[in-house]
């Protein structure tokens, strides 16, 4: 949300609020058009980066343009859809050593609050449940844009980043000191309902 939240606040003040709420509403992730990605990156032995993604997830968010602090988001992830572009590694990632998908087939994120600072930058704080463990995490969020699409709908896009410690979510496999954390990047385009 960052810079655009500040711009939205300035616009609201300038136009008297008449148009500020035109992009408020509830938005569903565009899973049909595959305009959504949850990717991750983790160090491999300190020599390279291992990249991957989750191919199957869904969610929605509610955006309040006049009061961004009142916005919210919910996401559900099929953990068996993990994809690192290597079948044997993906099998290992699905095992008890990592995601343990036979026991925990779903991960989820549910926001609790949106924090906007004086510069208009925003964080979304919420509960991430992964491998049966729920912990509060903070997403650093940027609004990428919003507007009408060619099919008569209205779209909005965000990108968010966070970093997780594997052991905080009960992942028993140790990959060494340089691989204790994984960076998560979420990019979502959603359609107003």
Which is higher by pLDDT, 118 or 65? 65
Average pLDDT over residues 133-161: 95
pLDDT in tens, 108-126: 999 999 998 777 678 999 9
Q: What is the pLDDT of residue 4?
A: 42
What distances in angstroms separate CA 112 from CA 27, 33, 109, 125, 155, one per listed residue? 18, 28, 10, 6, 23
Q: What is the pTM of this model?
A: 0.86
pLDDT in tens, 73-95: 999 999 999 999 999 999 999 99
Please state which of the four CATH numbers 3.40.250.10, 3.30.70.100, 2.40.128.110, 3.40.1360.10 is assigned to the domain occupying 2-192.
Answer: 2.40.128.110
**If you average pLDDT over every residue of the chain, what do you get?**
89
Q: What is the pLDDT of residue 176?
A: 87
Own/partner pairs for 166-172, CB < 8 Å, 24+ apart? 168/133, 168/135, 169/128, 169/130, 169/131, 169/133, 169/135, 170/131, 170/132, 170/133, 171/97, 171/98, 171/99, 171/131, 172/96, 172/97
pLDDT in tens, 144-155: 999 999 999 999
């Amino acid at each position: 949300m960052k810079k655009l939240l500040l711009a939205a606040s300035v616009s609201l003040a300038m136009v008297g609020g008449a148009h500020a709420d035109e992009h408020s509403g509830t938005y569903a992730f565009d899973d049909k058009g595959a305009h959504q990605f949850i990717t991750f990156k983790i160090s491999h032995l300190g020599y390279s980066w291992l990249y991957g993604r989750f191919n199957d997830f869904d969610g929605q968010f509610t955006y309040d343009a006049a009061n961004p602090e009142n916005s919210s988001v919910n996401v559900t992830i099929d953990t068996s859809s993990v994809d690192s572009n290597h079948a044997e590694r993906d099998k290992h990632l699905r095992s008890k050593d990592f995601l343990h998908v036979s026991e925990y087939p779903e991960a989820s994120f549910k926001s609790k609050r949106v924090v906007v600072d004086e510069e208009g930058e925003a964080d979304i704080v919420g509960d991430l449940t992964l491998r049966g463990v729920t912990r509060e995490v903070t997403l650093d969020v940027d609004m990428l844009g919003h507007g009408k699409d060619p099919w008569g709908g209205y779209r909005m896009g965000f990108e968010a980043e966070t970093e997780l410690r594997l052991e905080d979510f009960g992942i028993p496999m140790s990959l060494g000191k340089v691989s204790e954390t994984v960076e998560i990047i979420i990019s979502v385009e959603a359609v107003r309902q």
